[in-house]
Chains A and B, each alone.
Chain A
Amino acid sequence: MNDMARVERRVGTKNAKITARDVQVHYGDTHAIKDVNVEIGDKTVTAFIGPSGCGKSTFLRCLNRMNDTIDACRVRGDILLDGEDIYDKRVDPVQLRAKVGMVFQKPNPFPKSIYDNVAYGPRIHGLARNKPELDEIVEKSLRRAAIWNEVKDRLDAPGTGLSGGQQQRLCIARAVATEPEVLLMDEPCSALDPIATAQVEELIDELRQRYSVVIVTHSMQQAARVSQKTAFFHLGNLVEFGETGQIFTNPQDPRTESYITGRIG
């Protein structure tokens, strides 16, 4: 089992989906991200770990330009998606976000029916030509998010009526429905109970078949369980980046070691 995982890891690193070079982020006067260089592989789960306030979520939100919605935030450096700079003036963030989907810390289903929640993305992006096609996309997405069996009989019920874990999987289905290439997850399990967390983690592992997944987590165990690559952030710096197994068993940087052994956090 362990060996197999390692093999897969090596396959995953071959082609970089996202490349970040010398990324700097400023929030007003605060220098939130300093000189981050990282390559995120395709069909890989990459985990960002680090103490809270280390900039891991900020960096994640740079990858689909969600930081654009915050006035005081400025991003410098290059972030390339399939070799194209996503901060290029010609890039429409709307088009970008269709390719780079996002799942948030707190489950945030829209106050609509379960069906409409999932169909929202395909509708705005015009992915379905007619109702049967849309039905198909919704079903496929709900299946991929491993929630189909639980909700198939009540697609018209409001999404807000589901339990926390179901809501988060619904949000994942919603993100998957737009057929993104990269899926960003910002502490997707922090608001969930252990059982729901296990379900979502299992789901993340399956999603790796199709997408490049980047997950921010404050739980080292979770990073170890779901990711192939891990990046450790500390005070806005990317301290260490490498194979998950390496990071956890043989950290190079003393700060990484301190964090993993629980001395800082």
Chain B
Amino acid sequence: MPTLWLVVSVLVLAAIGYVLGRKRALQSANGNIRELHSLPIYYGLNVAFAALLPALGVLILWLLAQPMIIDSTVSGMVPHEAIPEETTLGLVMSDVRRVASGLDAAVEQGVMTLAESHSLRAEAADIRARLGEVGVALGAEVKAEVLQAAQSYRRMTATGTHAMTLVVALLAVTGLAIAYARTHKDFRARNVVERGILVLLILAASLAILTTIGIVFSMLFETMNFFGLHSWKDFFFGGIWAPNFRGDSELSILPLLWGTLFISFIALLVAVPVGLFAAIYLAEYANNATRSFAKPLLEILAGIPTIVYGLFALLTIGPMLVDFFGKGGLLGVEWMAGATSVLTAGMVMGIMLIPFVSSLSDDIINAVPQAMRDGSLGLGATKSETVRQVVMPAALPGIVGAVLLAASRAIGETMIVVMGAGAIAKFSLNPLESMTTITTRIVSQLTGDTDFASPETLVAFALGLTLFVLTLGLNILALYIVRKYREQYE
């Protein structure tokens, strides 16, 4: 890990800078702290920051940019003829990278000398076997073009890394030197250091934006690749989801979307009435003792990890439903074939969402001013009349917002549906049938052997992007409604 050592050296340099800066500042004031503009610690920090921040910033950017630049240069070098049919440039490139890293590993483990590794020729040496020795498995013999590309990949990476080390080290030393030279008793060290800290704080805050951009772009690029390989019309408007790895897959989101919405609908059917009535009872009827007992207990349901609910669906609720509706069940009907079904996943997800709906609604109901209730009670209305005709209409926008948030949770929920819903994509109105959802398909397309050149894998990104847009839309709408609602009573 040369990068790690680079970081450590820069850190050491910064520490030295701290000591030097502090000392020089004190010297310039003849040891009298009162003469200094800022506390001595700031002079030290100033020098340390000057050594550290530009160097590390450039390091991070370099690390992010280098693979991208090298990749695009090298892939430009791979001739068109070298790409066999039924594969793509992406696949060839991953071969190139694997050969390159294999050669590096071989040198590192002493199987090859450095010079030998550079002078290898595809025709002469059995590269596949030799790389196999160091634990790098290749799917096929290495072609000359691939080896050539791999060699230049290695060369460029090596050059890049050297250049990076040089630049970063130079930056650190220069920063330290400049800051040290400027250190003087009249130098406004505190202001400079504080400005530096502020920049760091801003960077931390922009990470949120960066994450969003990362999410969008990581999915957008692969989605575009997907639409290059597969018709977007089929994805959005086709009616069949039938991936197969021979190539002629039908990949339409509609059956998955249907399963997702059906399960979410059942979940809301469970969670909304139960959660809402629980919230009403807690907010309007319960005395303090009941409230402080029931509310935390209900909220435990929200803190239980989804994997637990998944297991609960798969091993408890599913078999229980089969006991009722399955072959030889209590009802004597044979409506259910297996434990996984829309109802299984929907019910369990509903249980999970009960506290979500109830605590959001509880907050919202409590935000309705007491004067409103007094007005109604003062006219001789009963509590339930007050709740139904005054409190609920007043709280309605907030509750709609809460339900939308719950819906967005249900749509994006993964583990419960992975374990409880099943894997069959279809349009059906029977909740006792097994169906599948967007999230389950993302998981199944992206686990196991993934080949980032096939539409069957890439479709997961298109699904992910759709899911993201869908939940984001719901969230923004819900947050907007809730915010408007809160403003009304503030």
Give A residues with C-beta under 8 Å from B.
64, 66, 69, 71, 94-99, 101-104, 106, 108-112, 120-121, 124-125, 171, 174-175, 178, 184
| Chain B: CB-nearest residue to A160 | B488
Q: A15 to B379: give the CA distance in the assembly, Å.
A: 25
- Indicate whether A104 sits within 8 Å of B375 (C-beta atoms), given known contacts A110-B394, A112-B393: yes
B380 close to A125 (CB less than 8 A): yes
Instruction: Assess whether A124 is in contact with B381, with CB atoms less than 8 Å apart.
Output: yes
Q: How far is the CB of B392 from chain A (nearest CB, A)?
A: 11
Does chain A have a CB within 8 A of B378? yes
Q: Given A110-B390, A111-B394, A112-B393, A98–B374 Cβ distance below 8 Å?
A: no
Complex contact B375–A108 (CB within 8 A): yes
Residue from A95, A106, A112, A174 in contact with B379 in the complex, judged by beta carbons closer than 8 Å: A174
Q: Could you tell me the distance between the alpha carbons of A95 and B380 in the complex, rounded to whole angstroms?
A: 6
Out of A95, A104, A112, A125, which one reaches B378, CB within 8 Å?
A: A104
List, in ascending order, chain B residues with CB within 8 A of A66's CB.
Answer: 374, 377-378
B194 at the interface (CB under 8 A from A): no
Question: Is B447 interfacial (CB 8 A cutoff)?
Answer: no
Residues of B at the A interface (CB closer than 8 Å) are: 287-288, 369, 371-382, 385, 389-390, 393-394
In the complex, the chain A residue whose C-beta lies closest to that of B371 is: A108
Please give me the residue from chain A that is nearest to B394 by CB atom: A111
| B379 & A98 in contact (Cβ 8 Å cutoff) | yes
Decide if A120 touches B379 in the complex (CB within 8 Å): yes
Minimum C-beta distance from B399 to chain A (A): 14
- Contact A94 B390, beta carbon cutoff 8 Å: no
On whether the beta carbons of B394 and A97 are closer than 8 Å, the reply is: no
**With contacts A111-B394, A112-B393 known, is A121 near B380, CB below 8 A?**
yes
A121 to B379, CA, bound (A): 6
Name the A residues within 8 Å of B287 (CB-CB): 71
A71-B288, A111-B394 known; A97 vs B375 contact (CB < 8 Å)? no
Closest approach, in angstroms, between the C-beta of B3 and any C-beta of chain A? 61
- Chain A residues near B380: list those with CB within 8 A: 94-99, 101, 121, 124-125, 178
Shortest CB-to-CB span from B365 to chain A, Å, is 14
Q: Given A104-B374, A108-B369, A110-B372, do A97 and B379 touch, yes or no (CB 8 Å)? A: yes
Contact of A101 among B369, B378, B390 (CB under 8 A): B378
A216 shortest CB reach to chain B, Å? 14
With a cutoff of 8 Å between Cβ atoms, the chain A residues found around residue B389 in the complex are: 120, 124
Question: Are B372 and A108 neighbours in the complex by a CB distance under 8 Å?
Answer: yes
A121 to B374, CA, bound (A): 13
Inter-chain contacts of A121 with B (CB < 8 A): 379-381
Residues of B within 8 A of A184 (CB): 378
**B395's closest neighbor in chain A, by CB?**
A111
Q: Which of B287, B375, B377 has the most CB of A within 10 A?
A: B375
B490 to chain A, nearest CB (A): 14
A contact residues around B393 at 8 Å (CB): 110-112
- Return 8 A-B CB contacts under 8 Å, by A number: A102-B378, A106-B371, A108-B374, A111-B394, A112-B393, A171-B375, A178-B379, A184-B378
Inter-chain CA distance A174–B377, complex, in Å, is 12
